[in-house]
Chains A and B, each alone.
Chain A
Amino acid sequence: MIELQGLTKRYGDKTAVDHLTFTVRPGVVTGFLGPNGAGKSTTMRMLLGLDTPTSGDVRIDGRHYAQLSEPLKHIGALLDAKAIHGGRTAYNHLLCIAQSNRIPAHRVSEVLETVGLTAVARKRSKGFSLGMGQRLGIAAALLGDPEILMFDEPVNGLDPEGIHWIRNLMKGLAAQGRTVFVSSHLMSEMALTAEHLIVIGRGRLLADTSMADFIEKNSRSYVRVRTPQPERFKDVLTAAGHTVVTTGDGSFEITGTEAAQLGELAAQHQLVLHELSPQRASLEEAFMQLTAESVEYHAHGAVTPGAPPPMPVAPGAQQWQQPPAAPPAQPGQPPQQQPGGQQWGSQWRNPGSGKGR
């Protein structure tokens, strides 16, 4: 259990973390989400006693980190994969950490086995890839067999196989009843692993909710219809009691109904349809909307206000995908200014985010 109480960190007049209060509970994977520079890493460093909070309090199992005599037996953390002396072998790196907390040396071999680094145990970590570095960092976190595990952006730099491995590892750890606290700036990643969600932006708490609630509240679904007989169809829809929104490119967006019903309605009135597709705003869009005002680093000028464009969902397809390159305009707002091919969240993937300090 991790408890934050009004945790605040200021650097000069810049507030990195602003009165954060939340609790991370055992038995589930808690996602810690926010754009780059939102204060996730700073929060995690304060949790480990590396940075001193300006005010507020953070406790691990009711105690301050510095009060833990052998902290690695309570909490294991992966902060940044490159926090390793490259001249030391993987084995010696883990051994010196283990010794400081009186963890038996055989644990070193065990965790190396767990993360799949046994073959390179006697190699200097200098030559490790980013993925191997992440695995070594995770091995260090697992050393003391702690009840609480904390990972800062663990999937960064991993290949798909590595990402898959980390997801399963985190789920497995939570299933054993452990507290798993994992940060990310990717909603899509969190949606696959986390059961609980804490969202921050500019150091402030934006949401503290279960993933199910978040999806329920934030994924707006509607049906898009295109027809060569827009006037007649609009009348039919209005008569049937549906609210119709006409978009900039002439298609209709109808909420609160199913595609099948609309198809049948069109058939009854012998109307021609060119498109009939269920749409769902992705969680990433919901997340972007939530944090839009608190995004710290913009790639170019102002961020587009309001919700980004929805994307089509083929029935049964993966929900989290990249939005289409050329988004259609939104109802009730001017056409999107985003240039084609702009990826979601690209304005957050910006250097100078305070990482690697």
Chain B
Amino acid sequence: MAAPSAVLQSEWTKIKSVRSTIWTLALAFIVTVALGAVICLVFNNTWDDLSTEDQATFDPTNTAFFGMTLGQLALIVFGVLVMSSEYSTGMIRTSLAAVPQRGAFYTSKVAVAGVLALVVGMATSFVVFFLGQALLGSHKAQIGDPGVLRAVVGAGLYMTLLVLLCVGAAAMLRSPMLGLGILMPFFFLVSPILSAVPKVKKVAHYFPDQAGQKIMQVVPSTDDHVSYGPWGGIAIMAVWVAAALLGGYVVLRQRDA
């Protein structure tokens, strides 16, 4: 067996020595924070235009995370590229010749991408929360309020799981074109649209992103009655992630590089 620490170190060198890592993660951070801040500002300034019902169910915590709809696209690119660039560049043959134990190679890559995503995800989540609340003025939530810390930590977890899902999917698809071509439209268009269509949305609620985003809500929305709570939602997402990672491992193990 190759020494696990050696392979981890190698994967860390790999991930930090390409520009796409910096760009995608920085973009995810900036877009999520900037968009979240703008939305909070708009809500604060147009508060009086909201209906009483909207005011009553206003969720200041979740509002700060609205920017993630766009910001997560950069995370998808990050997750897909971490894995599929090995295939698109041919580097996979060099990598597997150096570490023929494919499980060790895969685990290390997933771990490095996951830890990096967790750090960036948590940073993004906390920054956008505090910035958003500051901009919401008197309508803000406090980190100590019930469910708020869970939502903020949950947003970081959501971003981490999303990246891991993309890593696993990319390992199955083995091509950046396929990976981005399937995952970007799915998370940006297909999933949000389907979750708004009557009847279909009962199924769509179990999609990884729809289930995972539940944890970011502090005030439950009135119009959907999903059968899982915030932690249940993130657990559903985690099952998707586990399936994707396992699928990716099986493909990596079975197929010729």
Taken residue by residue from 1 to 29, chain B's Cβ proximity to chain A (1 for < 8 Å, 0 otherwise) reads as 11100110111011001111000000000
Q: Contact flags (1/0) for A80-121 with B, using CB distance below 8 Å?
A: 101111111100110111011110000000000000000000
Convert A117-148 into 0s and 1s, putting 1 for each residue whose CB lies closer than 8 angstroms to a CB of B.
Answer: 00000000000000000000000100000000
Q: Are A84 and B90 in contact (CB under 8 A)?
A: yes
Q: Which of B3, B17, B96, B98 is in CB contact (< 8 Å) with A88? A: B17
| Alpha-carbon gap, A72 to B92, bound state (A) | 15
Min distance, Cβ B60 to any Cβ of chain A, angstroms: 41
With CB as the reference atom, state the residue of chain B lying closest to A126: B89
Cα(A87)–Cα(B92), bound, Å: 15
Q: Tell me if A48 is interfacial: C-beta within 8 Å of chain B.
A: yes
**Across the interface, do B100 and A66 meet the contact criterion of CB distance under 8 Å?**
yes
* B18–A87 touching, CB < 8 Å: yes
Q: Which of A38-57 contact B (CB under 8 A)?
A: 45, 48-52
Residues of B within 8 A of A95 (CB): 13, 17
Residue B196 is within 8 A (CB to CB) of chain A in the complex: no
Say yes or no: is A290 at the interface (Cβ < 8 Å to chain B): no
Is A65 interfacial (CB-CB < 8 Å)?
yes
B239 CB within 8 Å of chain A:
no
Task: Let me know if B2 and A83 touch, CB within 8 A.
Answer: no
B86-101 residues with Cβ-Cβ distance < 8 A to A are 86, 89-101
| Residues 113-148 of chain B, each 1 if its beta carbon lies under 8 Å from chain A, else 0 | 000000000000000000000000000000000000
Chain B residues contacting A48 (CB-CB under 8 Å) are 93, 96-97, 100
B94 nearest CB neighbor, chain A only? A83
- Residues of chain A within 8 A (CB-CB) of B7 are 100
Are B96 and A92 in contact (CB-based, < 8 A)? no
Asked whether A61 is an interface residue with its Cβ less than 8 Å from the other chain, the reply is: no
Question: B-side binding surface: helix, strand, loop or mixed?
Answer: helix
Chain B contributes a number of interface residues (CB within 8 A of A) equal to 31
Q: Are B91 and A85 in contact (CB under 8 A)?
A: yes
Considering the complex, give the chain A residue whose CB is closest to the CB of B21: A87
Which chain B residues have a beta carbon within 8 Å of chain A's beta carbons?
Answer: 1-3, 6-7, 9-11, 13-14, 17-20, 85-86, 89-101, 256-257
B10 contact set on A, CB distance < 8 A: 96-97, 99-100
C-alpha gap A101/B6 in the complex (Å): 7
Q: Are B89 and A52 in contact (CB under 8 A)?
A: no
12 contacts between A and B (CB under 8 A): A50-B96, A66-B100, A70-B2, A79-B93, A80-B93, A84-B94, A95-B17, A96-B11, A96-B13, A99-B10, A100-B2, A100-B95
Whether A88 contacts B18 in the complex (CB less than 8 A), given A68-B100, A101-B2, comes out as yes
Chain A residue contacts of B90, Cβ below 8 A: 80, 82-84, 356
In contact, B93 and A92 (Cβ under 8 angstroms): no
A230 within 8 A of B: no
Q: Do B13 and A69 touch across chains, with their CB atoms under 8 A apart?
A: no
Shortest B102–chain A CB gap in Å is: 8
Partner of B100, one of A49, A84, A97, A140: A49
Complex contact A71–B1 (CB within 8 A): no
Does A77 sit at the interface, judged by CB under 8 A?
Answer: yes
CA–CA, A102 to B7, complex, Å? 9
Instruction: Assess whether A101 is in contact with B98, with CB atoms less than 8 Å apart.
Output: yes
What is the distance, in angstroms, from B129's C-beta to the closest C-beta of chain A? 33
Contacts of B99 in A (CB 8 A): 100-101
**Residues of A bordering B, CB below 8 Å:** 45, 48-52, 65-66, 68-72, 77, 79-80, 82-89, 92-93, 95-97, 99-102, 140, 356
Instruction: Return chain A residues, CB-CB under 8 Å to B91.
Output: 83-85
CB < 8 Å neighbour of B89 from A66, A69, A85, A100: A85
Q: Which residue of chain B has the shortest Cβ distance to A125 in the bound complex?
A: B89
Residue among B86, B92, B257 with max Cβ neighbours from chain A (10 Å): B257
Q: Which residues of A contact B98 (CB under 8 A)?
A: 71-72, 97, 100-101
Q: How far is the CA of A69 from the CA of B4 in the complex (A)?
A: 11
A71 engages B6 (CB within 8 Å): no
CB <8 Å contact, A86 and B89: yes
Nearest B residue to A88 via CB reads B17
Closest to A80 in B: B90
**Interface pair A49/B96, CB less than 8 Å apart:** yes
Find out whether the CB atom of B6 lies under 8 angstroms from the CB atom of A100.
yes
User: Could you tell me the distance in whole angstroms from the C-beta of A203 to the nearest C-beta in chain B?
Assistant: 16
B82 to chain A, nearest CB (A): 11
A70 to B101, CA, bound (A): 10
* A52 to B94 Cα, complex, angstroms: 16
Query: Is B14 a contact partner of A102 (Cβ separation < 8 A)?
Result: no
Contacts of A88 in B (CB 8 A): 14, 17-18
A45-B93 in contact given A51-B257, A87-B19, A92-B13 (Cβ < 8 Å): yes
Which residue from chain A places its CB closest to the CB of B102 in the assembled complex? A66
Within 8 Å CB of A65, what residues of B? 100
Cα separation A49 to B102 with both chains bound (whole Å):
10
Residues of B within 8 A of A96 (CB): 10-11, 13-14, 17
Q: Which residues of B contact A100 (CB under 8 A)?
A: 2, 6-7, 9-10, 95, 98-99
A278 and B4 alpha carbons, distance in the complex (Å): 65
Asked whether, in the complex, the Cβ of B6 is within 8 Å of the Cβ of A102, the reply is yes
Q: How distant is B183 from chain A, measured CB to nearest CB, in Å?
A: 21
Taking CB atoms, residues of chain A closer than 8 Å to B97 are: 48-50, 71-72, 77, 79
Q: Are B17 and A69 in contact (CB under 8 A)?
A: no
Set of chain B residues within 8 Å of A68, measured between Cβ atoms: 100
Least CB distance from B12 to A in Å reads 8
B9 lies within 8 A of A99 (CB): yes
CA distance A49 to B94 in the complex (A): 11
- Chain B positions within 8 Å of A80 at CB level: 90, 93
Across-interface contacts of B11 in A (CB, < 8 A): 96
